């Protein structure tokens, strides 16, 4: 079963009954691959597609929310954000500052500002407040994507989880 939507057009069928859409979207000073997928088209509502379309139109705002969620986790050394920062510091040392676009004197904040969004994935079948609706993938740069930080937001744009991958 194929779905059609004003923003996404005809959503291609992926797998048995699933749907898939992807496009490169320009936001900020970067081009990012954005995808939308669901294992079953039956679990995707028109409302969830509308929410996804609205979120795609405001990726910069969602990126800001995701970065604020990362900043909120800096103070605890047992979070994925702190472990990710430590990993990058171990791997790059002082050279890490070469990636900074702004130097404020707070190295952790400067690092989080410097992270590039390397992908955005929407799951419109996960529309509940506690469910992951969209995942932002962050890395030091598009070329340095072996170490990734994943920030999951619900359908209201609120952080659900942050994980290191």
Please say if the pLDDT value at position 147 is more than 70. Answer: yes
The whole-number pLDDT of residue 41 equals: 83
Q: Check if the beta carbon of residue 46 is closer than 8 Å to that of residue 39.
A: no
* DSSP-assigned letter for residue 115: P
**pLDDT higher for 105 or 153?**
153
The whole-number pLDDT of residue 84 equals: 96
The whole-number pLDDT of residue 77 equals: 87
Return d(Cα 68, Cα 66) in angstroms, integer: 5
Please say if the pLDDT value at position 2 is more than 70. Answer: no
Number of domains in the chain: 1
Question: What is the 3-state composition of the chain as percent helix, strand, coil, each rounded to the nearest 5?
Answer: 35, 30, 35
Tokens linked to 58: 């405001």
**pLDDT higher for 143 or 35?**
35
The band of 144, judged by pLDDT with boundaries at 50, 70 and 90, is confident
List pLDDT tens digits, range 86-139: 999 999 988 998 889 888 889 999 999 999 999 999 999 887 788 999 999 999
**pLDDT higher for 145 or 113?**
113
The whole-number pLDDT of residue 138 equals: 97
Using CA atoms in the order 79, 84, 87, 92, what is the torsion angle rounded to 10 degrees? -150
Please say if the pLDDT value at position 5 is more than 90. Answer: no
Domain extent, residue 31, equals 3-164
The band of 14, judged by pLDDT with boundaries at 50, 70 and 90, is low
List pLDDT tens digits, range 15-74: 666 888 999 999 888 899 999 999 888 888 899 999 999 999 999 999 999 999 999 999
């Amino acid at each position: 079963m194929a779905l059609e939507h004003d923003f996404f057009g005809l959503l291609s069928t992926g797998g048995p009954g699933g749907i898939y859409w992807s496009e490169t979207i320009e936001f900020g000073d970067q081009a990012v691959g954005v995808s939308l997928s669901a294992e079953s088209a039956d679990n995707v509502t028109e409302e969830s597609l509308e929410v996804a379309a609205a979120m795609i139109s405001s990726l910069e705002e969602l990126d800001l929310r995701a970065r604020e969620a990362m900043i909120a986790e800096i103070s605890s050394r047992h979070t994925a954000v702190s472990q990710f920062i430590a990993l990058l510091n171990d791997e790059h040392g002082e050279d890490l500052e070469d990636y900074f676009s702004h130097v404020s004197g707070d190295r952790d904040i400067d690092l989080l500002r410097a992270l590039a969004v390397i992908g955005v994935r929407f799951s419109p079948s996960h529309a509940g407040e506690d469910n992951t609706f969209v995942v932002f993938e962050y890395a030091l740069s598009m070329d340095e994507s072996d170490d990734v930080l994943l920030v999951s937001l619900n359908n209201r744009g609120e952080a659900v989880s942050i994980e290191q991958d």
